[in-house]
Amino acid sequence: MTDLNNHVTRHRRRGQGGFTLIELLVVIAILSVLATIVVINVTGVKNKGNSAACVTDVSSVQTAVDEYVAAQTNGGLGIFGGTSTTTPTQITGAQGDALVPTYLNTAPTSCSAAATQWLNILIEQNGGGDIQVTGSYGP
């Protein structure tokens, strides 16, 4: 048995051993940096996707509001008649109910990180009397 131990020890002394602790720590540090770079890039792609989905939903809501207003027999704005002309306001539950399911299949949730219906989708009456829908992805 001591002959085997001496044989292993002799080979390590000749430089035929394994990796040193420093070499292993350097490799782990390099892999950590690479993993961090990948995570940061993936997060950026996800945020761009969320913003793009929100833009699409805002466009769909704008179309639904336009169709709703066009369908009003008296030529008014219907439930959107009290919309502010100076400050964009959040779509209310009643306004959302007027759009779903007749003009939209479901209430949009893509503008909210918490997937809350209508959150971060704003409406405002512009100078021409039309309803303008805006929105952006957020918490």
Q: Report domain extents, the chain.
A: 21-135
pTM of the model: 0.67
What tens-digit pLDDT sequence spans the chain (139 residues)? Answer: 566 555 555 455 555 578 899 999 999 999 999 999 988 888 778 888 888 999 999 999 999 998 988 888 777 788 888 777 788 888 888 888 888 988 999 989 888 888 888 888 988 988 888 888 988 888 7
d(CA 134, CA 84): 13
Cα torsion 76, 79, 82, 84: sign: negative
| 3-state DSSP assignment of residue 110 | coil
DSSP designation for 121? E
- Residue 18 dihedral angles phi and psi, to the nearest 5°: -85, -160
Six token digits for residue 91: 């779509």
DSSP designation for 112? B
DSSP designation for 134? E
